[in-house]
Amino acid sequence: MDVTEATDVEPEGGLPIGALVGRNVARLRAERRWTQIELRERWVQVGLAWPRPKLSALESGRRDAVSLGELVLMAIAFQEPLTELVRYDGPGDREIALSPASSQVTAEALASLFGGSPPTGAEVLVFGPEEGDASLVKLGTPVQADVELAVRLGVPPQEVIQTAMRLFSGNSLHQERDARAESLLELKGSDADPRAYRGHVTRELSAQVEKSLRDRGILS
């Protein structure tokens, strides 16, 4: 389990909205027993491709603000209402600073602004950089192999996920790898080493994704 720096000492003045959200992100992640890597994967699935240091900074209270769009994507990934991300469990009705130069609102007033039902839905529309470039990604779709390839190639994870889904009939690279490796194992029998097949299939599928990215001019 990842550990982020935290303090029980409340800072003077208004609590930055980013610090409040960060506390709740850390709480929701801990409740689910997710590591930061696992949370980041879920954020990538819905289009929030934050690097891990940025997530760590948020959870440790070192980011003053988050955008509304980022907040909505976080709520979708957690499958929680927005109120859970702006919940304040400290003493009294704390003043919350919405930006460094803003006036402040009470935690109770902020929560009431975001009242409502959790954002639900089996799929999330993830947009790419080109006009009309979007893919439906089912929540919970495994994308670890996609993220690893994106890091190796130096491209946004969404590019790899969307390219894989085009090539593999809606499957992420991770899903297609597992499906093909399982088929090979069934053919070879139970004595086969699953790691060897996953590695071979991953390299083969990754090459297809990389070629498609180069053909589209995303990779030089």
The more confident residue out of 184 and 48 is 48
What is the C-alpha to C-alpha distance for residues 5 and 98, in angstroms, rounded to an integer? 22
Helix axes 173-188, 157-167, angle to 10 degrees: 50
Alpha-carbon span 58 to 108, nearest angstrom: 22
Query: For position 189, what pLDDT does the model report?
Result: 67
User: For residue 145, is pLDDT > 70?
Assistant: yes
Contact assessment for residue 60 and residue 4, using Cβ atoms and an 8 Å cutoff: yes
pLDDT at site 190 = 60
Task: Report the chain's mean pLDDT, rounded to a whole number.
Answer: 78
Category of 121 on φ-ψ map: left (φ > 0), alpha (ψ -120 to 50) or beta: left
Q: Which two tokens stand for residue 210?
A: 């990389």
CB within 8 A of 207, min separation 6: which ones? Answer: none
| Structure confidence at residue 5 as a pLDDT band (50, 70, 90) | very low
Whether the per-residue pLDDT at 96 is higher than 70: the answer is yes
Q: Map residue 143 onto helix, strand or coil.
A: coil
Contact between 55 and 36 under an 8 Å Cβ cutoff? The reply is yes
Taken in order 145, 162, 66, 74, is the CA torsion positive or negative?
negative
Tell me the average pLDDT across 157-162: 82
Q: List, in order of start, the domains of the chain with CATH numbers.
A: 15-113 (1.10.260.40), 123-215 (no CATH)
What pLDDT sits at residue 137?
A: 57
- Please tell me the predicted confidence (pLDDT) of residue 210: 94
Decide if pLDDT at 117 tops 60.
no
Neighbours of 103 (CB within 10 A): 9
Query: Is 99 exposed, middle or buried (CB count within 10 Å of its CB: 0-12, 13-18, 19+)?
Result: exposed
| Residue 121 clears pLDDT 70, i.e. is over it | no
Mean per-residue pLDDT, 66-94:
85
Q: Determine the pLDDT at residue 62.
A: 92
State the pLDDT confidence band at 138, using cuts at 50, 70 and 90: low
What would the mean pLDDT of 172-193 be, rounded to a whole number? 80
What is the spatial distance between Cα 23 and Cα 59, in angstroms, rounded to a whole number? 6
Q: Which residue has the tokens 């990779």?
A: 219
**pTM score, two decimals?**
0.57
Which range (51-60, 108-117, 209-218) has the least confidence? 108-117
pLDDT value, residue 122: 42
- What is the gyration radius of the CA atoms in the chain, in angstroms? 20
Q: Which residue has the higher pLDDT, 155 or 124?
A: 155
Are 39 and 46 in contact by the 8 Å Cβ rule? The answer is no
